[in-house]
Copies of this chain bind each other. A is one copy, B any other.
Amino acid sequence: MRTAFYVSDGTAITAEVFGHALLTMFPAEFAHVTIPFVENPDLALQVKNRINDCYKTTGLKPLVFHTFVDEGLRQLISDSDGVCYDFLNTLVEPVQKELGMAPVPKTHRTHSMHEKTYDFRIDAVNYALANDDGANMKNFSHADIILVGVSRSGKTPTSLYLALQYGIKAANYPFVEEDMAKLRLPAELAAHKAKLFGLTITAERLSQIRQQRRPNSRYASVHQCALELKEVEQLYLKEQIPFINSTQLSIEEISAKIISRTGLKRQKY
């Protein structure tokens, strides 16, 4: 099996995202090794030796995805026996030409707390935690968005992802039987109707998820799930609440669709 190294003088997250996107295009398995914070020549030499050892041991040249700001460190890694993909540098020149300005080398530029939006993201995480699952409905006025749906339809992980990744303050509220039976929004939600976004899901998938929580319960039965979902979907239509079906979607996909549909302002790019 071929080994892929992701190496950087920062978190190596950019190298990972890029290398992963590239390698998943090929029908092969890889062994993955991430080495972040390679911040001095000693560490870079250790990494170079590790790459060379990997080549000696496996007989296959490792693929090395790296993002170094420091030219000397970059050169040390590029001199290894791995096949190096320096994708940032590959594209710096054309962008430089287009913008008519030179790049300014600086480490920890991305994924650092010095990004100006970092505090928004931490505040948003604290907000999402404090306003999960219908807690503190009086705080809804501070929400950027309020996700609604039946229990276990994906509201909590999506709220946390929106907060952590984009600094969006997402509250969430699980409809209870009374809301659904009466096809009525509770007053606290009705007061912030423009912020509501609904999630739905198929009854079969919801039942699977609920089974893990309370096996063989009425709560987890396909019948009960179907009933609740039918009612909330009617409520969404009646109240003109935008909604998406999350059955086949990851939290990244749900979040991207919500932002795209609502035009929510993100605190991070």
Given A36-B256, A90-B91, A110-B20, are A25 and B104 neighbors across the interface (CB < 8 Å)? yes
Known: A26-B95, A90-B91, A250-B112. A256 touches B18 (CB 8 A): no
Is A248 part of the binding interface, using a Cβ–Cβ cutoff of 8 Å?
yes
Contacts A90-B91, A160-B160; A253 near B101 (Cβ below 8 A): no
Bitwise interface map of A from 3 to 16 toward B, beta carbon under 8 Å scored 1, else 0:
00000001111101
> Is A220 part of the binding interface, using a Cβ–Cβ cutoff of 8 Å?
no
Q: How many residues on the A side are at the interface (Cβ–Cβ under 8 A)?
A: 73
Q: Give the distance in Å from the alpha carbon of A61 to the alpha carbon of B22 in the complex.
A: 27
As for how many copies of this chain the complex holds, the number is 2
Task: Report the Cα distance A157→B11, complex, angstroms.
Answer: 17
Stretch in A81-89, A188-196, A227-235 with 4+ CB within 8 Å of B? A81-89
Contact of A250 among B98, B111, B160, B259 (CB under 8 A): B111
Chain A residues 5 to 47 lying within 8 A of chain B, measured CB to CB, are 10-14, 16-18, 20-28, 32, 34-37
CB neighbours of A125 from chain B (8 A): 156-157, 160
Of all chain B residues, the one with the shortest Cβ separation from A269 is B32
Asked if B98 contacts A21 (CB within 8 A), the reply is no
Alpha-carbon distance between A51 and B155 when the two chains are bound, in angstroms: 33
CB of A177 closer than 8 Å to a CB of B: no
* Contact residues in B for A67 (Cβ distance below 8 Å): 21
- Measured CB to CB, the residues of A under 8 A from B are 2, 10-14, 16-18, 20-28, 32, 34-37, 61, 63, 67, 83, 85, 87-88, 90-92, 94-96, 98-99, 101, 103-106, 108-113, 115, 118, 122, 125-126, 129, 132, 156-157, 160-161, 164, 248-253, 256-257, 259-260, 266, 269
